[in-house]
Structure 1
Amino acid sequence: MGTPRIARGAVARGVISVAALIGAGGILAAPAASAQAAAPCGPRAAACIDLSDNAAWLMDNGTVTYGAVPITTGKPGYETPPGTFSVTYKDIDHWSKAYDAPMPYSVFFTTSGIAFHEGSLREQSHGCVHLSPEAAKAFFDGLTPGDVVEVVP
């Protein structure tokens, strides 16, 4: 009997179905390395961003509640800064005046205008954290002003 495998991308999408957990012998098995173990942030973080792995999570007291999800971040010259920040405000239908572009489901966490928001997962940003439409909604719904956002290099 082979080792149970998770459907490719199931953990990255933040969804593991029963079918994804069924091994070759039809036995349910938990993943050996879960997205929860991979989140590199501390217990204060409500959101965790790993710049080197292009991944983000929502967390509660050190436990992953959503993710890992794929992200894109700042391009050269506009790098997303590492550090510990707090959510400052949210705007479901934000429009960037600086870049004349929509930023749906924006959750701002720096004083320089960097936010999580729906955006391209193929192109880097001007510092913001781009999320898929589904993940952007989850981060918007899951975070409130004052929540800690940890960004690790």
Structure 2
Amino acid sequence: MPAVSASARPVRAEGQWMGKQSRTAGRRVRVAVAMGIATGVVALGALAGTTVAQAAADPTVEGTPCTPTTRACVDLDSHTAWLFDKGAIVRGPLQISSGGPGMATPRGNFQVEWKDKDHHTSEFNNAPMPFSVFFAPGGIAFHEGSVETTSAGCVHLTLEDASAFYDFLSVGDVVEVH
């Protein structure tokens, strides 16, 4: 058999040599397949919501700034909140008020720490905080309060909405504040 240059060799069965153009195309296919697998792995990881990096890549629930894995969602810029169950909105959008200048409501991902249906704050002259659901350091909570004025950092809800948040949320539930 006469000698054949590498670039002129025909494509052979799997595991054997192939022509120069076919080798390049083969590399492109391997890269594309690897990228597809990596994309699939990232997508599965985002659905699990196990890390902060993955949570940042999660899609948001339509019409909200929050991911489907959260239970309570707050948008400070639009003064709005929602409750989610398995990524579906079950209550909201609701009007809220939040912390004013010098007492801003913290942004971030939190968990419900504790609840008190008849809480009174020692910080502000024993003021009532009905249906309190505490979720952030410094005593930040969802509770009934005026949705027309700023708070000292808490998220104020109407009485009806505060009662619903209190009944719906459990210790450990995820709260996102944007």
Please give the residue correspondences for 1:13-52 in structure 2 after superposition, counting only pairs within 5 Å. Answer: 37-52=62-77
How many residue pairs get aligned? The number is 117
Matching of residues 1-150 of structure 1 within 5 Å: 37-100=62-125, 101-150=127-176
Distance 1:60 1:83 in 2: 19
Question: Cα distance, 1:61 vs. partner?
Answer: 2.1
* 1:45 aligned counterpart, secondary structure: coil
TM-score using structure 1 length: 0.75
Residue 80 (structure 1) shift: 0.3
Q: Give the 4+ runs in structure 1 shifted more than 3 A.
A: none
Greater share of helix: 2
SS, match of residue 59 in structure 1? strand
User: TM-score, with normalisation over the residues of structure 2?
Assistant: 0.64
Q: Which of structures 1 and 2 has the larger relative contact order (alpha carbons within 8 angstroms, sep 6+)? A: 1
Larger strand proportion of the pair: 1
Task: Note if contact 1:43-1:63 (Cα within 8 Å) is conserved in structure 2.
Answer: yes
Distance between the aligned counterparts of 1:139 and 1:93, measured in 2?
Answer: 14
Structure 1 residue 64 displacement after superposition: 0.5
Is the 1:41–1:62 contact (alpha carbons within 8 Å) kept by the matching residues of 2? no
| AA at the equivalent of 1:89 | W
Letter in 2 for 1:102: P
Amino acid at match of 1:69: L
- Listed one character per residue, the Cα deviations across residues 18-70 of structure 1 (whole Å, up to 9, x for unaligned) are xxxxxxxxxxxxxxxxxx73121001110000000000000012211111100
**Long gaps (5+) in structure 1:** 1-35
Aligned sequence identity (%): 51
1:121 Cα deviation (Å)?
Answer: 1.1
Q: What SS does structure 2 have at the residue aligned with 1:57?
A: strand
